[in-house]
């Protein structure tokens, strides 16, 4: 979710790149030059000025910033290459709310920026929020494209590392808190499953390659829902038999989309088609049982059911972790008991 844009005002974009990269980890960042008029730039939350004030056009740019239409006072962090008191005074007179040395590490500038713009947040909070936003952008493009056409699996890669990084940096609880804020049912569910899979894989100490593989599969596992009518997807309460039959087509439809799109690995294809299969053969679409269901499918199915139980809908609160785990444990003839126990441990100990 967008927390607002930060503008970096720079007369040397090459020199400002490490700063821009650091800010981009916590917020959307746009670089502008000292010729910026501030008239059509759009809304933003703060400015970091990495400029030389001895240049008249730099001062003019800051004065234009102060006079922009509809101006509201906002944080302006000025980075000076001079330690003289006169330089700090001049910067303050031009609207700077904080003055720092241009030679400090970018992370210290980011820390000051966060305290000024988002005093109620920590840098870690914003990093996780930004990573979720990146994963969310991947999901948005994926579901929109899949409604009528094929998808580019290379584009899905852009959502994998943000999920893994967010779980590593912030833990599962913070991921759930952020994702619950999304209203779209399929969007929320796919992100819930992705974060839960990433946390479970991390708890199991799987290799980085396997964590990436499973997270990628989780991101696309419900892509077939993009072609299910919204009236069925978003229906409050239980589906009737006909609606349930339509809903169950999402698994083979998703498999068809991924197969036709090309570039999809066998694990992701299997997870997409079979994540509703059960060990006792009662699942769909192919009624697989026991050894016919691969380990990655078994793992993701547990995460998929858990995510469905703890989803937040307008008409229902998310089920508690304890109650959701109790339901999973009661499915011992349909889910792999050892994996369910390991999953419960992972969820209960997750930060």
Count of the separate structural domains present in the chain:
2
Name residues whose C-beta falls within 8 Å of residue 163's C-beta, 6 or more positions apart in sequence.
131, 135, 191, 194, 195, 198, 215, 218, 219
Are both 199 and 319 inside the same structural domain?
A: yes
Are both 143 and 73 inside the same structural domain?
A: no
State the CATH number of the domain containing residue 138.
1.10.3210.10
Model confidence pLDDT, tens digit, residues 169-186: 889 998 988 888 877 888
Q: Which comes out higher in pLDDT, residue 83 or 86?
A: 86
Q: What is the mean pLDDT of residues 141-159?
A: 91
Check residue 1 and give its pLDDT: 46
**Polymer length in residues for the chain:** 351
Name residues whose C-beta falls within 8 Å of residue 181's C-beta, 6 or more positions apart in sequence.
1
Model confidence pLDDT, tens digit, residues 315-331: 777 899 999 999 999 99
Are both 35 and 67 inside the same structural domain?
A: yes
Check residue 184 and give its pLDDT: 80
Count of Cβ atoms closer than 10 Å to residue 24 Cβ: 15
Are both 111 and 188 inside the same structural domain?
A: no
1 in a structural domain: no
- Distance in angstroms (rounded) separating the CA atoms of residues 126 and 41: 23
Are both 96 and 131 inside the same structural domain?
A: no
Whether the Cβ atoms of residue 113 and residue 23 lie closer than 8 Å to each other:
yes
Model confidence pLDDT, tens digit, residues 194-233: 999 999 999 999 999 999 999 999 999 999 999 999 999 9
Which residue, 117, 151, 166, sits at the end of a domain?
Answer: 117
Which residue, 97, 117, 137, sits at the end of a domain?
Answer: 117
Can you give the pTM of this predicted structure?
0.82
pLDDT tier, 3 (very low <50, low <70, confident <90, very high otherwise): low
Which residue, 100, 117, 134, sits at the end of a domain?
Answer: 117
Are both 141 and 263 inside the same structural domain?
A: yes
Domain extent, residue 77, equals 6-117
């Amino acid at each position: 979710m967008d927390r607002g844009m930060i503008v970096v005002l720079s007369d040397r974009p090459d020199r400002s790149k490490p700063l821009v990269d650091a800010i981009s980890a916590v917020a959307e960042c746009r670089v502008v030059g000292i010729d910026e008029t501030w008239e059509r730039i759009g809304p933003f939350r703060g400015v970091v000025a990495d400029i030389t004030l001895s240049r008249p056009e730099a001062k003019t740019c800051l004065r234009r910033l102060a006079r922009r239409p509809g101006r509201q006072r906002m944080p302006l962090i000025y980075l000076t290459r001079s330690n003289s008191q006169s330089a700090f005074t001049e910067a303050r007179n031009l609207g700077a709310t904080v003055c720092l040395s241009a030679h400090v590490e970018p992370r210290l500038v980011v820390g000051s920026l966060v305290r000024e713009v988002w005093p109620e947040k920590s840098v870690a909070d914003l990093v996780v929020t930004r990573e979720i936003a990146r994963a969310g952008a991947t999901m948005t493009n994926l579901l929109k494209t899949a409604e009528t056409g094929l998808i580019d699996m290379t584009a899905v890669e852009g959502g994998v590392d943000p999920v893994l990084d967010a779980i590593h940096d912030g833990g599962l609880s913070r991921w759930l808190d952020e994702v619950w804020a999304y209203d779209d049912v399929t969007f929320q569910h796919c992100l819930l499953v992705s974060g839960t899979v990433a946390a479970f894989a991390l708890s199991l100490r799987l290799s980085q390659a396997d964590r990436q593989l499973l997270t990628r599969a989780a991101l696309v596992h419900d892509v077939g829902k993009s072609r299910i009518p919204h009236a069925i997807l978003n229906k409050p309460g239980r589906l009737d038999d006909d609606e349930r039959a339509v809903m169950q087509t999402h698994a083979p439809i998703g498999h068809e989309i991924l197969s036709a799109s090309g570039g999809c690995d066998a694990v992701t294809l299997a997870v997409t088609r079979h994540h509703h299969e059960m060990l006792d053969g009662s699942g769909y679409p192919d009624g697989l049982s026991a050894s016919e269901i691969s380990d990655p499918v078994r793992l993701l199915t547990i995460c998929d059911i858990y995510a469905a139980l703890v989803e937040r809908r307008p008409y229902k609160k998310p089920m508690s972790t304890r109650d959701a785990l109790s339901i999973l444990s009661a499915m011992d003839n349909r889910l792999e008991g050892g994996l369910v126990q390991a999953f419960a441990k992972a969820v209960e100990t997750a930060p």
